[in-house]
Chains A and B, each alone.
Chain A
Amino acid sequence: MRLKFLFPILVFAGLLAFFFIGLGHDPSLVPSPLIDRPAPEFDLPPLEAGAEGLKTADFMGRVTLVNFFASWCLPCKAEHPLLIQLQKEGRVRVVGINYKDKPEEARRWLAEEGNPYDRIGVDPSGRVAIDWGVYGLPESYLVDQKGRIRWKHVGVLMPDDWQEDFLPRIERLDP
């Protein structure tokens, strides 16, 4: 008899438990299924005429940071100084994939802001980005010497992210 009236509070207690545990989870963090798998095959044309494009084979031999960017992506501007700094430090090779952009705008943008990329591949249709599992810009991937994806960062790359997520992995890959 009394149980009937206790039912609502019991259900609520159960919900509370889930809410409380749920607070500790980040529902938006989803590990990429590509981690520790070889990077998808691709062969993209260059941004500047005469320069070299970007293809999967280019990853061999050096730890590479693959950065998806576009001139229309404001947040990309925010991580740009860090990319330039990384390029200068030379700890990893920085390459870019220009995602669904107008080439002339991308060229102007890089001329104004500086070009941190060793090589750039142009992906006007977004096909390659789909293979990589990119669903928004910017996104950055760490690829090892054997061309395997080791880490994926979604959103603006901040110095903290670099220190905490990228550097330790790079140390392990290339001591």
Chain B
Amino acid sequence: MIPELGHYALVLALFAAGVQTILGLLGAHRKDAYWLLATGPAASTQFLFVAIAFFALMHAFVVSDFSVYTVAKYSHSAKPLLYKLTGVWGNHEGSMLLWVFILAIFSQALVSFGKTLPHTLRARVLGIQGCLSTGFLFFILFTSNPFLRLDPSPMDGQGLNPLLQDPGLAFHPPFLYLGYVGFSMAFAFAVAGLLEGRIDSAWARRVRPWVLIAWAFLTIGIALGSWWAYYELGWGGFWFWDPVENASLLPWLAGTALLHSIGVVEKRESLKSWVVLLAILAFSLSLIGTFLVRSGVLVSVHTFATDPTRGVFILALLTLAIGGALVLFALNAPKLKPVGSFAPLSREGGLLLNNLFLVTAAASVLLGTLYPLILEVVSDEKVSVGAPFFNATVLPLLLPLVFAMGIGPYLPWKRADFPAVLKRLWAAALTAGAVLFRKLAFGSARHRARGLAFCQQPSAACGTPEAVSGTLSGKPVAPSGSAGKFLRHVRRPYGHRRAVGWDHCFDPLANGRNSRDATRRRSDRGRLSHSLRRHKTRARPQLPGRSRHLSRCPR
């Protein structure tokens, strides 16, 4: 009964989202006061129905209603309550519902907190949000309905993968989605601004908090996933340049660039079309990430069980959302004229430099991620692009960025006087010089290695392992390090899709113990040498994740 209520609520939400779109976009176009005023309630209605659907699904997971296909496939009566709850988004259908739920939360947040916005801008933003909701609700209802029933219903569920029962996994997808979907606000504001033909400092002031929220959530989500990969999965590192990890890094890079440059619009009314483009890009990259995870065009540890219909559907959504926004950009952006002057040595100049680095880094990551796909389409060759490429292209871009980060805040707006800036930075420059000198003169190889590990920290993060679906292996889940093996298996050029499903399992100990240990030693060089120094008496330090992991193993 309750799953059916959820199902109906989802259908009603689709209609509400449609109404929200029409009222918002047409109302703003016709400047019809009634339509404009009705947009907010339409958005609230949509939010209410999506919430009902979401909690109906959650209820089905909590009471273990195995007549619901999603529950039977991904839950189990013996799961702890917490993981029954979080199991809602541990699968494709449920996570799409969470996606739409968060989209509706953002719409509702705008209704609640955006009362001071000009009516037409607010209606347009809500209209675009409604448009996105409509698309994704269609997608859920037609290709990934989480409320489908099973008859007869099984005695128990199939989802008891101990790897997926971890707080890291339980909480990292919602944060990631809050980040991904949060950028939809920036996107909606950008498109609304293009429609209005007005991108000014007031616009920037209104978008900025939304960008900041989305960026903060995305950062938390990436960090949690990374932490999970390291401590629980024992992949032997924080970051693997897996396609889906990259998919979460891309919007983060674009979002970071946006967060910085939006200040230029706010303070100097310059870089307008660039900022609008970045706002569209940040969300587009989130959408492309969603597409990559769910369509199976790339091989990754994160891919859900894939289905070509879904891939085509998401691709159509991408085309409409991103293509539409970019066409609008091509038509309307040339009309946006900068107001202020622009000197190269100024805070806005520094921010532009920052953007240049970040966007180039994003482009490199995108190229590396999609290269196997592009090459396969063009030449039928199979390759995989791994860490060496990304380390060689992205790190040289991020290191000068870290350096510039120290100087940027000291540059004044409009025009900077370089000697004056240096004067303010002399203490910092002196310290940096001394540290650098000490490193170069006395630093051992170990120190240098640790230094590099430190530099990588800011970008260390992980994608959406909500999707390591299926049992990894028939064997009890092996202790840490083995999943790293698993990861490298999948990333080999001769990986195969079923690898991730349950019907083909990896021997976690394949290819000898030695290589595995070597890998762990390599990737943990910094940490291990560090702990070795601290506990000289212990011959071989234990990784923190290891003992905990063993205690989790079944059997």
Q: Which residues of A contact B (CB under 8 A)?
A: 1-2, 5-6, 8-9, 12-13, 15-16, 18-23, 25-30, 70, 72-78, 99-100, 126, 130, 133, 135-138, 154-156
Contact = CB atoms under 8 A, between A and B. Distances in A.
Contacts of B374: 18
B356 interface: no
Given A16-B323, A18-B370, A27-B297, 16 more contacts: A5-B273, A5-B330, A8-B281, A9-B329, A18-B373, A18-B377, A22-B297, A23-B312, A26-B296, A27-B298, A27-B372, A29-B496, A73-B473, A75-B502, A76-B474, A126-B512
Contacts of B180: none
Contact of A5 (B291, B297, B329): B329
B515 to A, nearest CB: 12
B507 A70 contact: yes
B408 interface: no
Range class of the B interface residue count: 35 or more
Contacts of B299: 27-28
Contacts of B377: 18, 21-22, 25
A78 B496 CA distance: 19
A30 B315 contact: no
A73 B505 contact: yes
Nearest to B492: A135
B509 A100 contact: yes
22 contacts: A8-B326, A8-B329, A9-B330, A12-B284, A12-B322, A12-B323, A16-B319, A22-B376, A23-B311, A27-B296, A27-B495, A28-B495, A28-B499, A29-B496, A73-B505, A78-B503, A100-B509, A136-B489, A136-B505, A136-B507, A155-B496, A155-B499
B295 interface: yes
Contacts of A76: 474
Nearest to A71: B474
A12 B311 CA distance: 17
B511 interface: yes
B315 A16 contact: yes
A1 B326 contact: no
A136 B502 CA distance: 12
B452 interface: no
A137 B499 CA distance: 9
Contacts of A77: 474
Closest 4 CB pairs of A and B: A74-B474, A28-B497, A28-B496, A155-B504
Main secondary structure of the interface of B (DSSP, over half): helix
Contacts of A5: 273, 329-330, 333-334
Nearest to A7: B330
A135 B494 contact: yes
Given A27-B299, A28-B299, A126-B511, A154 B498 contact: yes
A138 B489 CA distance: 15
B382 interface: yes
Contacts of B503: 75, 78, 155-156
A133 to B, nearest CB: 8
A125 B37 CA distance: 72
Contact of A155 (B288, B329, B333, B498): B498
B278 to A, nearest CB: 11
A160 to B, nearest CB: 12
Contacts of A15: 288, 370
B471 interface: yes
B506 A136 contact: yes
A23 B297 contact: yes
B498 A28 contact: yes
B443 interface: no
Given A9-B323, A28-B299, A28-B499, A19 B510 contact: no
Contact of A135 (B323, B373, B473, B506): B506
A71 to B, nearest CB: 9
Contact of B330 (A8, A29, A99): A8
Contacts of A137: 474, 504-507
Contact of B502 (A18, A30, A74): A74
A10 to B, nearest CB: 9
B539 interface: no
A28 B474 CA distance: 21
Interface in B503-547: 503-507, 509-512
B509 to A, nearest CB: 7
A36 B11 CA distance: 54
Nearest to B297: A22
Contact of A72 (B315, B475, B499, B502): B475
Interface in B258-281: 273, 277, 280-281
A156 B503 CA distance: 5
B327 interface: yes
A12 B326 contact: yes
Interface in B328-377: 329-330, 333-334, 370, 372-374, 376-377
A1 B334 CA distance: 8
Nearest to B372: A27
Contacts of A99: 507
A21 B315 CA distance: 11
A15 B281 CA distance: 13
Nearest to A32: B494
A126 B504 contact: no
A1 B99 CA distance: 38
B308 interface: yes
B251 to A, nearest CB: 15
A106 to B, nearest CB: 13
Nearest to B500: A28
B318 interface: yes
Nearest to B308: A23
Contact of A126 (B471, B474, B498, B510): B510
A69 to B, nearest CB: 11
B458 interface: no
Contacts of B330: 2, 5-6, 8-9
A156 B474 CA distance: 13
B209 interface: no
A25 B507 contact: no
Contacts of A130: 511
Interface in B310-326: 311-312, 315, 318-319, 322-323, 326
Contacts of A8: 277, 280-281, 326, 329-330
Interface string B279-313: 01100100010010001111100000000100110
Nearest to B373: A22
B493 interface: yes
Contacts of B326: 8-9, 12
B311 A26 contact: no
Nearest to B475: A72
